Amino acid sequence: MKIKQNEKILFIGDSITDAGRNRSHSEDLGQGYPLLVASELKATFPQKQLTFYNRGISGDRVIDLKNRWEEDCLNLNPDIVSILIGINDTSHQIDRTDALDEEALNQFEEDYRFLLKSLSQRTDARVILIEPFVLPYPKDRINWRRELDPRIQIVRKMARDYQTELIPLDGLFNAAGISHGFKYYTGEDGVHPTVAGHGFIKKAWMNQVEQ
C-alpha cells in the first residue's frame, strides 16, 4: 500500500488505539502507535500533506464500533482506515462462560462485516485490519485463547472477503515476546502495549504500508 497526496488516515478501535488521547480535541492522536505512525509519515513525506485521526475508545467491543461507525468513520470519509478491535469481546466472554459461545462469535462476525461492507459501499477507503492479540503473561491469559483464536480467524476471513491489508499481529507479537520477554511488550496484563509494544505495532504497520 502506498500513501498518496492529501490522504486522510484513520485509526479506530479500543484502548490499544485510544492510548490516552484527549477526546475533546479531535486532532489528538494519543500516546500510542497512531502517534508514532503519524510522526514517521509526516516527517518522511512532508510534501504529501497527510491528515491523521484517532478514534479509539477504551473498552470498546466491535458492537460499540458499529454503533459509532457513522460519526467516527464514515462521516470523516477517510482514505485509509486501520482497525484493531476484538480483545474486549474476548475478555467479556471469558468472564461470562466456561464454554465457547458460538452465538457471540456469529454476532462478532456479523458486526465486523457491517463495518467493512459499509466502508466498501460508501467510501473508496483502503483498509488495514490488525489482528487482536494477547500475550501469555500473566499465565491466566493463556485461557483467553479459547475466545480470541476464533475471532482472529474471523478477522482473517474478513480480510479475504474484502481484500484488505492484514497485519497478523498476534503471531508477530507472540514471536517477539518469546524472544525478548512478554512483559517487555505488554507489561503486566498481556494486552496493553508498553512503549516498546506500541513501537512494535508501529513497525508492523509501516512494514505493511511499505509493501
**Both ends of the chain: CA-CA distance in Å?**
6
Choose, from 14, 15, 18, 111, the residue flagged as catalytic.
Answer: 15
Q: Which residue in the block uniquely carries the three cell numbers 484493531?
A: 84
Q: Following DSSP, what letter does each residue of 16-61 receive, concatenated?
A: HHHTT--TTSTT--TTSHHHHHHHHHHHH-GGG--EEEEEE-TT--
Choose, from 18, 79, 89, 192, the residue flagged as catalytic.
Answer: 192
CA distance 80 to 92: 29
> Please, where are the H alpha helices in 52-134?
62-67, 69-72, 87-96, 102-122
Which sign, positive or negative, has the C-alpha torsion 86, 92, 96, 98? positive
CB < 8 Å & 24+ apart, contacts of 180-183: 182/135, 182/136, 182/137, 183/137
Identity at 56, one-letter amino acid code:
G
Give catalytic status of residue 192 as yes or no.
Answer: yes
Residues identified as active-site: 15, 189, 192
